[in-house]
Amino acid sequence: MAQDTIDAEISGTQGDTPGQSKVEIRQVSKAYGDEWASESVIESLSVEIMPGELTVIVGPSGCGKSTLVNLIAGFEKPDSGEILLDGSKVKGPARDRMVVFQETALIPWQTTYQNIVFGPKLRGDLKGKALRSEAERLLDKVGLGEFKNKYPLQLSGGMQRRAELARALINNPRIMIMDEPFRGLDAMSRGLMQEFFLRLFEENRRTNLFVTSEIDEAIFLADRIIVLSNRPAQVRKVIEVNLPRPRDYKMLSSEEAYAIKRDAMEILHEEAMKSFKSGTKSDFAEAYAKSGQ
């Protein structure tokens, strides 16, 4: 495969390329437990993840965000409703939907380079010089070119997150799914990773779904914020984030950002209090109380 072909596939700049895919979630419901004692986690949830956008999902702790991620990824099946990727029904896991989880999934006994090439090498769809060239390109892209022979335990938390991104991108997914990927990082590393991830997105405009419990992170990253209700999760509101790109943290002090935060926090506080009263302490309940708002 020629390098210019690889670059075109990764960049996803055309409407019919994998980087510009659309996800439709139609009346999806999911419950767990026995039929006579089941607990509904998601109920009749419908929303669209638009092509080339960075869509962020927020909601009270335990509302079903990770369950929704698992359904879109195909790790689980909905009890009712359907999920479509570019018009085709999601029936199971596939490399067109790559997930970066909260905890690192790097293979500890493999080097950074070996982790990144693991998927294509296993499938055999990218080999030899083309595989090596693309892996090294992505390593340089995420700033790990000098660390390709290091093992995961020799990398910082932020470096591990970047390696996870490169490992996902080499599979050329139609959509990147990020399930609170920066949650375990310290404040400085988290801020740097947010900026890095945002620059990467703004370069290629690959369709992204990002889950977070931090409203400032959501506003900084998102084109649209999907606010979920308390369990069973439904869409309370979709908020357009019309801050210009490229972005920097100064924008979070703008009137527009404050208005978005106020709108989102009012809903999240209401939903978090429902969760709190039912005995499940919410991340947003704690954050709201500490904010003094």
Residue-level pLDDT at 30: 95
Please report the pLDDT score of residue 108 as a whole number: 95
Q: Which tops the pLDDT comparison, 77 or 276? A: 77
What mean pLDDT is reported for the chain?
A: 86
Residues 110-126 have a mean pLDDT of 89
Q: What is the pLDDT of residues 191-203, one digit of tens each?
A: 989 999 998 899 8
Query: In this model, does residue 3 exceed pLDDT 80?
Result: no
Kindly tell me if the per-residue pLDDT of 280 is higher than 70.
no
- Domains of the chain plus CATH, in order, are 3-96+175-291 (3.40.50.300), 106-172 (no CATH)
In tens, the pLDDT along 31-56 reads: 998 776 778 999 999 999 999 999 99
**pLDDT at residue 6 is higher than 50:** no
Of 125 and 218, more confident = 218
pLDDT digits (tens, 9 = 90+) for 131-141: 999 999 999 98
pTM: 0.84
User: Which of the pair, 3 or 124, is modelled with greater confidence?
Assistant: 124
Distance CA 288, CA 293 (A): 7
State the pLDDT at residue 210. 97
Q: CA separation (Å) from 116 to 129, 170, 202, 240, 286?
A: 15, 7, 22, 34, 37
Q: List the single range of 1-10, 49-58, 221-230, 244-253 with lowest mean pLDDT.
A: 1-10
Say how far apart CA 268 and CA 266 lie, in whole Å: 6
